[in-house]
Amino acid sequence: MSSTTHFEEIGLFQTMEERHSVRKYEKDVKISKEELEEMLAAAATAPSSWNLQHWRFFVIEDQKKKEELLPIAYNQQQIVDSSVVVAILGDLEANKEADGVYQPAVDNGFMTAQVKDTLVGQINGAYQGEGTFPRDEAFLNPALAAMQLMLAAKAKGYDTVPMGGFNRKAFMETFKVPERFVPVMLLPIGKAASPAHRSARKAIEEVTIYNSFE
């Protein structure tokens, strides 16, 4: 392992270790659009099924809009005190993105049109079948991007708290979110007003199974 790789590894592991959910934020701390978009760009490098990139980042930075969101999030104060709230949305119709995702590969000679058509057909088949597949994918893949956003924010000196406790129906209605998308979580980002309380973690032996449950 090179020394550069070693230091990068230490940085990543340290960021992961230092990230904790924060619910009390310094008021009136501004995050520049440039800095926020750097974090979002890092989040968007997350993996996704078929590279469909199921996430959408709905950014709520206007204070009046955060005040509208407050009762929807059951009056949790971090909504209005944090610098920005990013609502992570999942695409229930991500299959519609497939053609656009793969066409550049065809144009650049990395994939044949026949292979692309086969892949798009497989994706559409999965989404048109019965069951919960589209919704499962709309939660699974954006959650990966959300985790990367939390780590990117921490690396830049900001804190976050993933929030699943909010009225999704009211959120959709208030912010006129198209039915194609489902709210996965709210993610306030800002500067901690007080240190986060460390939470206990189970021993790795309690949560790891090798090869078989038997």
Q: What are the pLDDT digits (tens) for 68-120?
A: 999 999 999 999 999 999 999 999 999 999 999 999 999 999 999 999 999 99
Residue with tokens 């990068």: 8
Model confidence, pTM: 0.91
Give residue 109's region: left, alpha or beta (phi > 0; psi -120 to 50).
left
Neighbouring residues of 89: CB distance < 8 A, sequence distance ≥ 6:
55, 56, 57, 58, 142, 177, 181, 182, 183, 184
Kindly report, residue by residue over 156-205, the tens digit of the pLDDT.
Answer: 999 999 999 999 999 999 999 999 999 999 999 999 998 887 788 899 99
Q: How far apart are CA 196 and CA 106, in angstroms?
A: 48
pLDDT tops 60 at residue 7 = no
Domains of the chain: 19-91+138-192 (3.40.109.10)
Q: What's the CA angle centered on 63, arms 57 and 66, to 5 degrees?
A: 55
What's the mean per-residue pLDDT of the chain? 94
pLDDT value, residue 8: 60
Q: pLDDT above 70 covers what percent of the chain? A: 95
Q: Which two tokens stand for residue 64?
A: 């009046």
pLDDT tops 60 at residue 1 = no
